[in-house]
Structure 1
């Protein structure tokens, strides 16, 4: 990994998880000192983040993390539902037994973590579950698009629906339904459950 790639990956994760919130100014020198690199790779990473529309440049202010509102939130979950729903539909026709074993094991791990109250682990596991399904369904384009969409809108750790006991049960039931549809090769059901699942997550975020 190059230094620029390292800086980009760190800042991307910090913005995506809202550890660096919207409206925060990013000074290249300060970032360079914090990450132990020169200013050059930081500037390269910032240009890439600008291309991703995660930061913007303003005269006399430099780079600032984009502060997204309710309309962007609705667009984010709407786009996710389309991309991930299509991924689930296509995956139903392409999924292999090895894929199903991987998904079953991850789902079982999530059920065990939920049972033992390890809710802080569920958000990242859910991300892996969703992206694996999209990768199975659309390995040429959809997987990349799904990651780009997910990286475009910050989700603060404390806003994760996986920290809400009532939501954990609902979300895991949806995962189980998607998995059953994939096992049955039912693309219609896989897409419908995935779309409803993602939209429900969006409604939760809007209310919280």
Structure 2
């Protein structure tokens, strides 16, 4: 990994997780000092983040993390619903017994963590669950698109619906429904449940 790639990966993770919130000014010199690199790779990383539309440049202000509002939240989850819903639809006709076993193992781990109150682990596990389904359904293009969509929008850890006790049961039931639809080869049901599941996350995010 080059220094520019290192800086980019660190800043991308910090922006995606909202550890660097929207509206924050990113000064190349300060970032360079914090990460122990020169200014040159920082500037290269900032250019990539600008291309990703995660930062913008303003006269006399420099680079600023984009502050996305409710319309952007709705667009993000709407796009996720379409891409991941299509992934589930396609996966219903392509999934193998081995694929299904892997998904069930991941789901069982989530249920176990939920039962023991380890809710902070569920968000990342859910991400893996969703992306694995999309990879099964669309290994050529769709998986890459799903990751690109998810990487394009910062979701604060504290905004995860998996941290809310009232949401966990319903979301795990949605995963169970998706698994059942995939196992039976019901593409329509798999897509519908996935879309509803993602849209519920979007509604929760907007409300919180």
TM above 0.5: yes
* Residues in 2 aligned to 1:55 and 1:144: alpha-carbon distance in whole angstroms: 22
The equivalent of 1:190 in structure 2 is 190
Distance apart, 1:5 and its partner CA: 1.3
Q: Could you list the runs of 4 or more consecutive aligned residues of structure 1 that deviate by over 2 angstroms after TM superposition?
A: none
Distance (whole Å) between structure 2 residues aligned to residue 96 and residue 178 of structure 1: 15
* Most deviating of 164-173 and 1-10: 1-10
Instruction: Give RMSD over aligned pairs.
Output: 0.8
In structure 2, what is the Cα distance between the partners aligned to 1:114 and 1:150?
Answer: 23
Please state how far the C-alpha of 1:156 moved relative to its aligned partner: 0.8
For normalisation by structure 1, the TM-score amounts to 0.98
Measure, in 2, the Cα distance between the counterparts of 1:119 and 1:149. Answer: 24
Deviation at 1:3, TM superposition (A): 1.4
Give the distance between the partners of 1:168 and 1:21, measured in 2 at CA. Answer: 26
Per-residue Cα deviation, 1:109-129 (whole angstroms, up to 9, x for no partner): 000000000000000000010
Distance in 1 separating the partners of 2:39 and 2:143: 32
| 1:95-134 → structure 2 map (5 Å cutoff) | 95-134=95-134
State the SS of the aligned residue for 2:57: strand
Q: TM-score, normalised by structure 2?
A: 0.98
Residue 49 in structure 1 maps to residue 54 in structure 2: no
Aligned-partner Cα distance in 2 for 1:89–1:64 = 39
In structure 1, how many angstroms separate the alpha carbons of the residues matched to 2:204 and 2:59? 37
Q: How many residues align?
A: 208
Partner of 2:151: 151
The corresponding residue for 1:21 is 21
Q: 3-state SS of the aligned residue for 2:92?
A: helix
The alpha carbon displacement at 1:83 in A equals 0.4
Report deviation, 1:174: 0.4
Pair 1:33-2:25 in alignment: no
Distance in 2 separating the partners of 1:11 and 1:131: 22
Q: Distance in 2 between matches of 1:135 and 1:46?
A: 29
In structure 1, the gaps of 5 or more residues are: none
Which residue in 1 is equivalent to 2:172?
A: 172
The alpha carbon displacement at 1:2 in A equals: 1.6
Determine the C-alpha separation between the residues in 1 that align with 2:68 and 2:116.
35
